[in-house]
Amino acid sequence: MTQAPPTEPAGGRAADARPAPVAAPPPPVAVDAVISTSGLTKRFRGGQLAVDGLDLTVPRGSVFGFLGPNGSGKTTTIRMLMGLIAPSSGRATVLGEPMPQSVGSVLPRVGALIEGPALYGFLSGRDNLARYDAADPTADPRSRERRVREALDRVGLTAAAGKKARAYSLGMKQRLGLAAALLQPRELLVLDEPTNGLDPQGMREIRALVREVAAEGTTVFLSSHLLDEIEQVCTHAAVMSRGRLLVQGTVAELAARAQGRLVVRTADVAQAAGILAAHGLSGIRAGDDRVDAETSPAPPGSPEDDALPKLCAALVEAGVRVRGFGVERGTLEDAFVALTGEGFDVAG
């Protein structure tokens, strides 16, 4: 667990001091669920509702993207899952055990990077990792040097291993925090905005590392506000907005919820747009050498496979010079906008 060094509070953030509510025994959890929540809710002092009745299931072996804009409740949820704050109501299980009651037995099996790493600025990157490793009761001190060396190498910090952490850039600190989470093989890796502060090349490297860790059998729970990040590395995803879960499923399923768009590539843009409108298509947008429109489900007995060729034929018969014709599938971005009506960061 890499939330904070063993004797230093993480960034001075005060955890919720209220005791955990007395809860009934947790409901049975599916064997393949690494994380499961039921009605998980967090209301802070003053009445702010940060997480509202969250029912979440993270399948074992998945790379699970926890998606939502900043302020949507993602980090508060992760802090409850890791036992850093207590929920106001509801239940959470991690690796089959109730949280926060089972912190002592669960956290040694989890690697985490939450709200950025807490580091000793006066120590080198190498020595910071050695401190983290020494605080792990399951770590064999005889192989500590090897683990630290391999973790630094995995995140590309070998050359900077001897540099003081205070001299690290934000991106380097993120890498060091990730290295701490990877000091030992874990059943679950929890990452909160892992590419924050990284340049495009660094983001690509971290995404490749996430895929590598997942291929080794670790379930990865990755919180992000970047749609591009989720689409590139995740198998499953959940969408949060204003503290509530909107939808969850495989990335392909979520993208499929978005309506596809018919795209006609032609120099006769105005004429093509008129024909699409005459055939009842809506949401028509005309650009340079391209017209696109919303597609709608075909009525019974009139499958889209028949409707689209007929529409293409109508364009050609009207003299439109069609250079391309087809339906572009919906994206996760389309699905998010359809669900929330909000814009969203695509690649940061």
* Residues 144 and 178 grouped into a single domain: yes
pLDDT at 345: 46
pLDDT at 336: 61
* Residues 307 and 218 grouped into a single domain: no
Tell me, yes or no, whether 25 lies in a domain: no
CA–CA distances in Å: residue 217 to residues 54, 61, 220: 26, 6, 9
For residue 321, what is the domain's CATH number?
Answer: 3.30.70.2470
* Chunked mean pLDDT (size 10), the chain, 348 residues: 43 41 44 90 91 96 89 91 95 95 92 87 96 91 96 93 94 91 93 85 87 92 84 89 90 73 89 90 87 64 65 92 82 62 47
**233-246: burial string, b at 16+ Cβ within 10 Å, e else:** bbebbbbbbebebb
pLDDT at 332: 63
198 secondary structure, DSSP code: -
* Residues 265 and 246 grouped into a single domain: no
pLDDT at 114: 86
| Residues contacting 171, CB < 8 A, separation 6+ | 197, 198, 199, 202
Question: 237, 65 in Cβ contact below 8 A?
Answer: yes
pLDDT at 245: 93
* Residues 193 and 161 grouped into a single domain: yes
For residue 186, what is the domain's CATH number?
Answer: 3.40.50.300
Question: 90, 37 in Cβ contact below 8 A?
Answer: yes
Q: State which residues form the domain around 277.
A: 259-329
* Residues 267 and 300 grouped into a single domain: yes
pLDDT at 93: 96
Q: Measured over all CA atoms, what is the biggest interatomic distance in the chain, rounded to whole angstroms?
A: 79
